[in-house]
Chain A
């Protein structure tokens, strides 16, 4: 990484002076310095989306004459002289409202309940959604599926009726990226002893590593990754464990 050549800007986060890389978001810079900002729809591998509003922080500048404003830290890039407060009264108040609303949407979600409890909310003050699943419409699943290139998931309908689904079951490659990226574990999947994997109402076969007999993934997933990456298919037919072992052996041979 050509770290030295990148342009730096000086910001203050919670009283700490930090040299931050220009172009990065407040959220990224804060997390790199170990300052935790809660978020739900942020995913380091994807473009920031700003849907959950949980990562709000308060910003000001010396020239602003005391004027402050709330911004979503995942979308706001760091600027010279920016003074950021990640835990002001205003910030906590705002996050509380967001969590109160989320709790009404997904009353059964352990993740949201725990987050809300940290902000002193143990029960929502709004009407709970009936027959609620735990989806909070962060659309990480949609975006992660697009990033992988399967493009199988979409948000359907709109407003209060909006939901996430796979309209064309054949487009899904059964890779589990959506389910494993979901912040509230809203996408159910199962792996059976008979070597099948079930997700989005479809059953997939599983391919096993020939040496370690660990499940690697679905045939559809392996074909897709091989095609998109340009790497030989054999590369994807090994489990992580076997690959690590092989690397160790190769490394030992190179060393001595």
Chain B
């Protein structure tokens, strides 16, 4: 893909995201009182619906709750549960806890970054399907190294098992 078509594609994607944002957020502002105290709940609702917090969504949250835009940004960047980068429909979480680390989880991260052509905690695949994150223990040390994709746990993952995992997650 040359750079021109690439920018066109990303512009198109931004336009799609924008229209999605407007429609999907209409109901959430009636769920909670329109005041500053509702900020975190509203941001969680946005994150649930869009998988991330796009700037225009934060603008709208600030407007609807009548909270300074700076404060919204402050809260959105404070909590790790909020993502200011686009996330895929499915978030692949590779556990990097001690047990998983010792059993080669970093190799899985490197391998996934290569296969999906993205960086940890940075954007999503071109089809918007996956994004990649690391976590510091999912509490499944006996299954090390473990990977969690949305609600699905994968135990004793080895690099050659990743293909099967990705295929399965691609289809479901």
Task: Give the interface of A toward B (CB within 8 A).
Answer: 146, 151-158, 166-168, 171
Contacts and interface: CB of A to CB of B under 8 A. Distances in A.
A94 B73 CA distance: 34
B18 interface: no
17 contacts: A146-B68, A151-B70, A152-B68, A152-B70, A154-B68, A154-B71, A156-B74, A157-B78, A158-B77, A166-B70, A167-B69, A167-B73, A167-B74, A168-B69, A168-B70, A168-B73, A171-B70
Contacts of B69: 167-168, 171
B68 A155 contact: no
A138 to B, nearest CB: 16
A243 to B, nearest CB: 31
A146 B69 CA distance: 12
Contacts of A146: 68
A153 B69 CA distance: 9
Interface in B57-89: 68-71, 73-74, 77-78
B interface secondary structure, majority: helix
Contacts of A151: 68, 70-71
Size category of the B interface is under 10
A171 B73 CA distance: 13
Given A151-B71, A152-B70, A154-B73, 11 more contacts: A146-B68, A151-B68, A151-B70, A152-B68, A157-B78, A158-B78, A167-B74, A168-B69, A168-B73, A171-B68, A171-B70
Contacts of B77: 156-158
B169 to A, nearest CB: 31
A173 to B, nearest CB: 13
Contacts of B70: 151-154, 166-168, 171
Contacts of A171: 68-70
Nearest to A145: B70
Contacts of A152: 68, 70
A152 B72 CA distance: 11
B78 to A, nearest CB: 5
Contacts of A167: 69-70, 73-74
A140 to B, nearest CB: 15
Contacts of B68: 146, 151-152, 154, 171
A157 B74 CA distance: 7
Contacts of B73: 154, 156, 167-168
Contacts of B71: 151, 154
A167 B68 CA distance: 10
Contacts of A166: 70
A167 B58 CA distance: 11
Nearest to B71: A154
Contacts of A158: 77-78
Nearest to B74: A154
Nearest to A172: B70
Nearest to B79: A158
A156 B70 CA distance: 9
B39 to A, nearest CB: 12
B119 to A, nearest CB: 17
A154 B74 CA distance: 6
Nearest to A150: B68
Contacts of A155: 74
Interface in B109-125: none
